[in-house]
Amino acid sequence: MKVVNSAKFILLILLLVVGFSRSWSQLNSHRPQNHLAIFAKDDADPKDTVWLVIGEDSAATKGIDAILGEYEAPPMPPTGWDIRLLPPNFKSGDTSLGVGAYTDLIPYPAVGAKDTFLIQFQNTDFPNATYTFYWNMAEVVQEADSQNLKIPAYFDSDGNLIVPARTIRMGQVDSAVVDQSPYVYNVTTVKIIKFNPNRIMGVQPVKGQIPTMFALHHNYPNPFNPSTTLRFDLPRQAMTEIAVFNILGQKVTTLVSQELPAKSYTTEWNGTSASGAPVGSGVYFVRMTARGSDGQQFTALQKVMLMK
């Protein structure tokens, strides 16, 4: 009997590992550098898992962008388990934006833009099921100053507060548990508030006059350890990307990926990859690409050296 139970336990673990790897590889192949990926798990059944991806992309629209890997979930079934990511500004009954997109990318927002995404889930087979959401805090902090998971309040039929609303600071913790049972409709909507302020991804404006031309200045210090600062100039508003590449031409990380107004800025590279892992000593290349509203593009490249 113990052997059978052990075999079942091992099979259960394998299902979890295989399901996690498959979901990650599927979504990681097309998700953008600037994004937030949430792993959602129904605690009633270990097979009920899904990756939900939110992020910006210069080619994204408010609807379903199949070329970017977005796809629309079928209508929510009347029974059973289901979870889906609703698009920004979703209104009940509106199907024009692609209801139930598991991946939802939006165009690069203007400075100060704010978007609300909704996670909707149900498990009618297990009304007392709880849901656990996991995310990478480093990604949250890198992408925006404030990303909050807002869980709604629950009131009884007389209007009495049963469960108070709560807000999870996603830059301070890496998971949250949501109890489905108080919500009488079995379908719970959790809001993700995403705010993009002026200093997204560590960009800092430099005081002074508006520059007259695009430029990517030499980093300082150089060689460096553990971090170095780069200054760049924008004579007019432009979609700007500054990324680090290794000597093989592989992208190591993205430092800036945002439409910025005309100004001089600084950004810092701390010698880590996009996943936050330290990279080895050696020569790296920083590439700046800026495209204005007139379609003209500026590109510059600087060589930097990390010495440990």
* pTM, two decimal places: 0.53
The secondary structure of 100-167 as a DSSP string is TBSEEEEPPPPTT-EEEEEEEEEESS-TT-EEEEEE-HHHHHHH-SEEEEEEPPEE-TTS-EEE--EE
Top-tier CATH class for 200-306: mainly beta
Task: At 168, list the tokens.
Answer: 């999870």
What is the structure's pLDDT at 254?
A: 86
Do β-strands 228-234 and 215-216 pair in parallel, antiparallel, or remain unpaired? antiparallel
End-to-end CA distance of the chain: 56
Query: What are the φ and ψ backbone dihedral angles of 205, each rounded to 5 degrees?
Result: -70, 150
The pLDDT assigned to 101 comes to: 60
**Which amino acid would we find at residue 224?**
F
Strand order in the sheet with 81-86: 81-86, 114-123, 188-195, 146-151, 166-169
Q: Closest Cα to residue 89, out of 194, 180, 166, 168?
A: 194
Alpha-carbon span 81 to 128, nearest angstrom: 12
Angle at 16 between CA 15 and CA 19, to 5 degrees: 80
**Surface-to-core class of residue 132, CB atoms within 10 Å of its CB (0-12 exposed, 13-18 middle, 19+ buried):** middle
Residue 192 to residue 201: CA distance in whole angstroms = 19
Pair of tokens at residue 222? 């150089």
**So what's the pLDDT on residue 141?**
66
The residues spanned by each domain of the chain are 31-195, 200-306
- 117 Cβ neighbours under 8 A, 6+ residues apart: 54, 85, 86, 87, 88, 104, 191, 192, 194
pLDDT per residue of the chain (308 residues) written in tens, 0 to 9: 334 444 433 333 333 333 333 333 444 444 444 467 788 888 888 888 877 777 666 666 767 777 777 777 677 777 788 888 776 666 665 555 455 565 666 665 544 456 677 888 888 888 788 888 888 777 676 666 567 888 888 887 888 888 888 888 887 788 888 887 766 445 667 777 765 544 445 677 788 888 999 999 999 999 999 899 999 999 988 888 899 999 999 999 888 877 788 889 999 898 988 777 889 999 999 999 998 877 789 999 999 999 98
C-alpha distances in Å from residue 175, one per residue of 40, 55, 70, 279:
10, 19, 24, 27
pLDDT of amino acid 135: 81
Alpha helices in the chain (DSSP H): 2-28, 137-143
